[in-house]
Amino acid sequence: GAVVSQHPSWVICKSGTSVKIECRSLDFQATTMFWYRQFPKQSLMLMATSNEGSKATYEQGVEKDKFLINHASLTLSTLTVTSAHPEDSSFYICSASQELGFAGELFFGEGSRLTVL
Amino acid sequence: GENVEQHPSTLSVQEGDSAVIKCTYSDSASNYFPWYKQELGKRPQLIIDIRSNVGEKKDQRIAVTLNKTAKHFSLHITETQPEDSAVYFCAATLYNFNKFYFGSGTKLNVKP
């Protein structure tokens, strides 16, 4: 299957700082990537859809100024948590599909665990 | 967006028994329903999926059934093994769209 890589796998930062998480599709081009947030023992909550060359579309309730998404190339999407606070601490996971135009297997990155002190 | 509900949240079975996890969805337009398995500390991985033009799909010990009228689908695992222990997520989406909405997850514990 396709490989999606995420970096860093874990990060600790001070409150008020910004943190950038990268998501790369290693062996395929992904015009669309998805960012999820997963709280402990909870489900994958869709945050936003990252579109190559255009603005990301955010799910209801997700602050776009807080979670900046940039999809600069067909293999890279980044999520920047700006002015992070302890409540932003969570597991962030990206995903992508090889399919264009129809639903297919979603490949997930390893996830990034963010801890804000 | 789509609303997917999943039950039970935890399920404990004896090795060799069967396990059933159920999901319901709200958007009648959804037509693709995958199931993902997430082992502790690992990324979710697809184990089986079903499209709305079929009612059942099997892959060895795993099967998924779909009832479009009632808008629910279920995962069936037979002859469970300890390595089946994980969190299972159902999801729903439109076939021509990759935006997946996941259920709340079921933690399956298979006791040896």
Q: What is the pLDDT of residue A101?
A: 58
Distance from CA of A56 to the nearest CA of B (A): 13
Q: What is the pLDDT of residue A40?
A: 77
Quick one: chain A helix, strand, coil %, rounded to 5? 5, 50, 45
Q: What is the pLDDT of residue B87?
A: 95
Residues from chain A contacting residue B49 (CB–CB below 8 Å): 105
Kindly tell me if the per-residue pLDDT of A81 is higher than 80.
yes
- The single residue listed with the structure tokens 């997917």 is B4
Which of A97, A108, A111 faces B98 most closely, judged by CB atoms? A97
Which of A41, A60, A103 faces B98 most closely, judged by CB atoms? A103
pLDDT band at residue A116 under the 50/70/90 scheme:
very high
Per-residue pLDDT, averaged over B58-83, amounts to 96
* Contact indicator for A89, A111 with CB cutoff of 8 Å: no
- How confident is the model over A46-67, as pLDDT tens digits? 999 988 888 899 999 999 999 9
Per-residue pLDDT, averaged over A24-32, amounts to 87
Q: What is the pLDDT of residue A29?
A: 86
Q: What is the pLDDT of residue B110?
A: 97
Read out DSSP for B9-78?
SEEEEETTS-EEEEEEES-TT--EEEEEEE-TTS--EEEEEEETT-SEEEETTEEEEEETTTTEEEEEE-
- The answer to whether the CB atoms of B43 and A109 lie below 8 A apart is yes
- The single residue listed with the structure tokens 């999407």 is A77
Which of B93, B99, B102 faces A44 most closely, judged by CB atoms? B102
Q: What is the pLDDT of residue A10?
A: 95
pLDDT band at residue B96 under the 50/70/90 scheme:
low
Per-residue pLDDT, averaged over A88-104, amounts to 81
Residues from chain A contacting residue B36 (CB–CB below 8 Å): 106
**Torsion from C-alpha of B20, A45, A96, A111, nearest 10 degrees:** -90
Kindly tell me if the per-residue pLDDT of B93 is higher than 90.
no
Could you tell me whether strands A10-13 and A76-81 are parallel, antiparallel, or unpaired per DSSP bridges? unpaired
